[in-house]
Amino acid sequence: MLSKRTWQLAACCAATAVLTAASLLCAEGVLLERITGSASESVRFLRTMQLLKNHYNGDVDNHTLFEGAIKGMVEGVGDPYTVYLNRKDFQQLNEITDGTFGGIGIVFGKRGDDYIVISALPDNPGALAGIKSGDIITAVDEQPTRSMNMEQVANSIRGQQGTEVLLELKDKEGRLRKVRVMRKEIKNPSVGGQFVPDTKIGYIRVAVFNENTGADFAKEYQKLEQQGMQALVLDLRGNPGGILDAGVAVAGMLVPKGPIVSVVDKAGNKYVEKSSLDKVKYPLAVLVDHGSASASEIVAGAIKDTRSGRLFGVKTFGKGSVQSVYRLDSGTAVKITVAKYYTPSGVSIHNVGIEPDEVVELPENAVKDVQLEAAVDYLKKTLREQE
C-alpha cells in the first residue's frame, strides 16, 4: 500500500514526465522518431541523456555519452562480430590487417558465451606461454570475460609492449589455469614455403590472410614450381582467416574454373567469386584443424567441394560470415556482419565447420606431425600412381 505522500510524488513525477516529453520532441526528437518509428523510444533516449546531464553526481561529457550510445546500439544486434570501433580499436584493426601489431599473438572467436582461442600464432608470446587452440579465455587480469564483448576482451589482452597480462584459461577437459604473458610487437609473416625433405613435394604454410597474402603465396608457389615441384601440401592449421579477397586469390591458384565462394547479403543478393584456372596443376593435400577459420575455410571449402585436393586433420572452426568496415569519421568505424558465404556446393559452414576428407588427430604433446605425415604419404602414393 502506498502512502498519500508517495501518491503525490508519483503524480508529480508523471506530470513532469509529460511536460518533459513534450519539450523533448524538438527537432532532435522528431529526427529520432523518424529513425525509431516510435515517439516513446525517442523520448526515452533523450530523457535518459537529460537526466544524466542534470542529475549524475559527476562530470558528464557529451562525446562520451554518444560513444556509449553508438556502442550499445551496435551491440544490440546480438552478433559478436558486429562491433563499434573507437579510435583505438580502429587503429589496432588497421595494424592487424597490415601484418604487424602489438599483443600476445592469439586470435579468438565467440561460441555461445565462451571466448575460444582459434589460433596461437607460432613463435609469439601466447604460443610460447602454452596457450593452445581450443582454450577458453575465462578472465583477463582477474576480470571475467562473460561480462565483456569481443572488443573489450581484445583490448584487455592488447597493451603496451613490455607489460604483462594475466589470462585465466579453461582447456578442453575443463581444467582451469592462469598464464602470465609479456606483451610484444607481433610479427606475423603471412606465407612461408619449402620442400618436404628428400621429395619434390612442396609445402606452403599460410598463417593468416592479410593484404599481402595473395602476392606472397604466388611468389612461394612459383618459386617451388621453378624448382621442380610435383605436388603440394597447403598448411592452413591455426589460420584464423582475415581478408576474404586474400582467400579468393589463394584459392584461384588451386581450384579449376568455376565458383570459389558465394557471398549472400541481407537482401538475398548473391555475389560469386570465381577461379579462371584452366585445370589443377598438382596433386594437393590441405591441412586443417579447429583453428582454421573464415578465409581459411573459404580456401579449404573450395578445394574440398571441387575435389581439387584432399583435406587432412580435424574439423575447422566454422566462421562463415563476412564483415565490412564502415568509417564513421577519420578515426572511428563500425564493423558489421553484412553477409554469409557458401562453399561451391552451396553449403554454409557458419557455426558448423568443414569436416576433412581424412580425420587425423594430432595428439597432445606429439613428438611428430602425424597430420603432415598422412598428407605426404597420400601425395607420394598419388605420384606413384601417376608414373
The catalytic site residues sit at 294, 305, 319
Enclosing H/E stretch for 312 = strand 310-313
In the three-class reduction of DSSP (H, G, I as helix; E, B as strand; rest coil), residue 22 is classed as: helix
The Cα 294–Cα 338 span in angstroms is: 14
Query: How many Cα neighbours within 13 Å face the side chain of 66?
Result: 5
CA 329-86-328 angle, 5° bins = 20
CA 14-17-20 angle, 5° bins = 155
What's CA 144's distance to the chain center, in Å? Answer: 21
CB 243 within 8 A of CB 294: no
Distance set, CA 205 to CA 22, 47, 234 (Å): 64, 56, 6
- Report the candidate in 155, 79, 128, 149 with the shortest Cα–Cα distance to residue 319: 79
CA 323-328-329 angle, 5° bins = 135
Phi-psi region of 313 (alpha: psi -120 to 50; beta: other; left: phi over 0): left
